[in-house]
Chain A
């Protein structure tokens, strides 16, 4: 069943929409959560919560051509929230590692913490990615959206691990400069 047909089920409030979403994308959605949490049971809970949230969001949203990205974004957000809530009880190694990497992108004059609207930041990252090559975009997204490990990315694209690390390092430097130019600091 293609995305358009599944979205139609959501719009007509047919509960088979969730079963069809799970059938088509469940494995990959669990994978995103598991990359973050390293806990399959909790990942399955995140996946189920994501379906419920998608049910609430469609309509008004109609992700007819990007259903995976839509639900994937939700499950990613849910898994990250689990990380933040449980950070004292359990150390999520990859979440900590990637947070540390992102720290390099924070503009230099960030002396005062400020609530930057999330949408603005996402748009800034979009602008940054637009100027990158497809290869760079894919590696960045696989690392910071999918939470893939360096070795997974290297295997997927036939790169050496050192090449992946170098690409990510350069992209983080580029993102930092881009954010500084855009005034994303106080």
Chain B
């Protein structure tokens, strides 16, 4: 048997394994597919080798809790998430795909997407018309094409989102016709979470996402269920005091980066908090019709799934009250 016999033989495996990779849940932090939508000029992008997900420019990451275990907002400096760098050559040595729009010099990246009835429910959030995303970027685009306002990989009309600052969130709203000739409303949120500094949880969870102000209901999904996209969502049951204490702790805690190799990110020698197997997933249904996903990782780690790689860590007693009530395992 030769080395390349095995590599060749992998090509002949059962097609169900290939299909499963297509169906597997694509997770954050960085990989986002542009769904092929016939009526919109969506173009998939192959970016050059120089395009990487935002890396932490390392700030001093200090212990962000005081001696009583309470979050100390004065201790840590949070994280600066560098602006996304667009490629400067068309040499596609490494491939990645991402949906984005350039607006006022910032890169807004594809976030939650709503179609059909879900889009209809949040249509009132579509605000002021800002311009037209040209969908003009593909793997052969020159550098100068990236520099223009509304340069994008997704085409469509761009709007502000009522209730959200345009420095954080914009959207593309449109309609397309599906294969059965039905007119489907489509709203694609695009969030700018690069080129920003997050000092404490409040900077993201309240100032940008308005969680405690707009929460309507909470569901949870076990990690195993999430991993296999089984869709078994359960209603969360916990008291208001515990929920309030949880968010007070999150809001007051410093942001940290999972890429900070100087930190023992899990306290047990793991190089990444994502290596910790005990996790659970919250689905926050907001009163404006939007949905947010928060990941809780054993040990006190709270992650906004759309901003993978950055987290806050809160005291475990406060954390576990919610974690345990939402299917968290130990």
Q: In the complex the two chains form, is A125's CB within 8 Å of B13's CB?
A: yes
Give Cα A113 to B20, complex, Å. 34
Q: In the complex the two chains form, is B275's CB within 8 Å of A122's CB?
A: no
Q: In the complex the two chains form, is B18's CB within 8 Å of A66's CB?
A: yes
Give Cα A145 to B14, complex, Å. 11
Give Cα A141 to B8, complex, Å. 13
Query: Known: A129-B13, A152-B94. Is A162-B8 also a contact (CB below 8 A)?
Result: no
Cross-interface CB contact of B29 among A68, A121, A145, A158, cutoff 8 Å: A158
Cross-interface CB contact of A122 among B12, B22, B53, B258, cutoff 8 Å: B12
Query: Could you count the A-B residue pairs with CB atoms below 8 Å apart for me: how many are there?
Result: 148
Cross-interface CB contact of B272 among A76, A129, A144, A162, cutoff 8 Å: A162
Q: In the complex the two chains form, is A158's CB within 8 Å of B274's CB?
A: yes
Give Cα A95 to B8, complex, Å. 11
Say if the beta carbon of A106 comes within 8 Å of chain B. Answer: yes
Chain A 94-135: CB-based contact to B (< 8 A → 1; otherwise 0): 010011101101110010011010110110111001000011
Q: In the complex the two chains form, is B92's CB within 8 Å of A34's CB?
A: yes
Q: Which residues of A contact B15 (CB under 8 A)?
A: 63, 66, 69-70, 73
Q: Which residue of B lies closest to A106 (CB)?
A: B1
Q: Which residues of A contact B95 (CB under 8 A)?
A: 31, 34-35, 152
Q: In the complex the two chains form, is A144's CB within 8 Å of B24's CB?
A: no
Q: Which residues of B contact A102 (CB under 8 A)?
A: 3-4, 6-7
Say if the beta carbon of A169 comes within 8 Å of chain B. Answer: no
Say if the beta carbon of B28 comes within 8 Å of chain A. Answer: yes
Chain A 57-81: CB-based contact to B (< 8 A → 1; otherwise 0): 0000001001011101100110010
Chain B 8-32: CB-based contact to A (< 8 A → 1; otherwise 0): 1111111111111110101111110
Q: Which residue of B lies closest to A114 (CB)?
A: B1
Query: Known: A100-B3, A158-B28, A162-B272. Is A118-B20 also a contact (CB below 8 A)?
Result: no
Q: In the complex the two chains form, is A137's CB within 8 Å of B1's CB?
A: no
Q: Which residues of B contact A84 (CB under 8 A)?
A: 4
Q: Which residue of B lies closest to A74 (CB)?
A: B11
Give the bracket for the number of chain A residues in contact with chain B: 35 or more
Q: In the complex the two chains form, is A99's CB within 8 Å of B3's CB?
A: yes
Cross-interface CB contact of A77 among B5, B11, B53, cutoff 8 Å: B11
Q: In the complex the two chains form, is A99's CB within 8 Å of B7's CB?
A: yes
Say if the beta carbon of A184 comes within 8 Å of chain B. Answer: yes
Q: In the complex the two chains form, is B29's CB within 8 Å of A155's CB?
A: yes
Q: Which residue of B lies closest to A2 (CB)?
A: B179
Q: Which residue of B lies closest to A146 (CB)?
A: B21
Q: In the complex the two chains form, is A118's CB within 8 Å of B12's CB?
A: yes
Q: In the complex the two chains form, is B227's CB within 8 Å of A135's CB?
A: yes
Give Cα A72 to B227, complex, Å. 25
Q: Which residue of A lies closest to B271 (CB)?
A: A162
Chain A 138-163: CB-based contact to B (< 8 A → 1; otherwise 0): 10011011100101100111111011
Give Cα A40 to B89, complex, Å. 14
Q: In the complex the two chains form, is B31's CB within 8 Å of A134's CB?
A: no
Residues facing A in B103-146 (CB within 8 A) are: 139
Query: Known: A77-B8, A134-B227. Is A155-B274 also a contact (CB below 8 A)?
Result: no
Give Cα A27 to B44, complex, Å. 8
Cross-interface CB contact of B9 among A98, A114, A125, A137, cutoff 8 Å: A125
Say if the beta carbon of B2 comes within 8 Å of chain A. Answer: yes
Q: Which residue of A lies closest to B9 (CB)?
A: A121
Q: Which residues of B contact A122 (CB under 8 A)?
A: 9-13
| Chain A min CB distance to B5 (Å) | 6
Give Cα A81 to B308, complex, Å. 38
Say if the beta carbon of A86 comes within 8 Å of chain B. Answer: no
Q: In the complex the two chains form, is B94's CB within 8 Å of A116's CB?
A: no
Say if the beta carbon of A185 comes within 8 Å of chain B. Answer: yes
Q: In the complex the two chains form, is A107's CB within 8 Å of B13's CB?
A: no
- What residues of chain A have their CB less than 8 Å away from a CB belonging to chain B? 1-2, 24, 27, 31, 34-35, 38, 40, 63, 66, 68-70, 72-73, 76-77, 80, 84, 95, 98-100, 102-103, 105-107, 110, 113-114, 116, 118-119, 121-122, 124-126, 129, 134-135, 137-138, 141-142, 144-146, 149, 151-152, 155-160, 162-163, 184-185
Q: 9 pairs across A/B with beta carbons < 8 Å?
A: A68-B18, A73-B15, A80-B8, A102-B4, A113-B1, A119-B12, A144-B10, A146-B21, A156-B31
